[in-house]
Chain A
Amino acid sequence: AQSVAQPEDQVNVAEGNPLTVKCTYSVSGNPYLFWYVQYPNRGLQFLLKYITGDNLVKGSYGFEAEFNKSQTSFHLKKPSALVSDSALYFCAVTSVGSSNTGKLIFGQGTTLQVKP
């Protein structure tokens, strides 16, 4: 069965410091990986995705993520955090398999708190 793990419920970082939000996955077949951000009482906003090609993916708002096949990871990173980055972050996966319907399997989410 496909699954996504976000091992940290919360990540705290000081403004201006680099941030990392961790994600590991388990799928049969090629993984297609996504990051979304959710602000309070809002829907999910798409940040970036990895489908194929360069392992380093750049996305919105200065975020990037690195696909690591051997470690089955897709960690989200940003060189310099902003207070406005404080939100709930979700990693998700789909894969080509017997049911290629595109349903997203989400991790539990990681709350990012950036302190001034």
Chain B
Amino acid sequence: NAGVMQNPRHLVRRRGQEARLRCSPMKGHSHVYWYRQLPEEGLKFMVYLQKENIIDESGMPKERFSAEFPKEGPSILRIQQVVRGDSAAYFCASSPQTGTASTDTQYFGPGTRLTVL
């Protein structure tokens, strides 16, 4: 049973370019969370998605960031016009929703490390 898959593992972009980060949840999981780990900071929640729905985007920056989880295919975190401050590790987690969202275990992927030059 493959775990949460994220690609690419490393991504380098120049300022002003777009970054697309992909996340495939564990088999049978229909809930995806994105977190960001900035240098010298802890992990911060960004967005929670179910298939074709954004449930909670309270942690997303207001501009340049968007996320989707289509009916088919991986979840995508998109960052437009990247700036140096976007350099961070971005982690995806999935959960099976066997109970309530608050009690389910989230399983994390290996992360995508974004470097903006």
Contact = CB atoms under 8 A, between A and B. Distances in A.
Interface residues of A, number: 26
Interface in A21-43: 32, 34, 36, 41-43
Contacts of B108: 36, 43-46
A34 B102 CA distance: 11
A103 B45 contact: yes
B42 interface: yes
A102 B42 contact: no
B91 A100 contact: no
Given A90-B43, A104-B35, A43 B4 contact: yes
Interface residues of B, number: 31
A76 to B, nearest CB: 16
A108 B101 contact: no
B48 A101 contact: yes
A100 B59 contact: no
A109 B89 CA distance: 15
Contacts of A104: 33, 35, 43, 45, 93, 106
Interface of A: 32, 34, 36, 41-46, 49, 51, 90, 94-96, 99-109
17 contacts: A46-B105, A46-B106, A90-B43, A94-B101, A95-B102, A100-B100, A101-B56, A102-B95, A102-B101, A102-B104, A103-B48, A104-B43, A104-B106, A106-B42, A106-B43, A107-B42, A108-B41
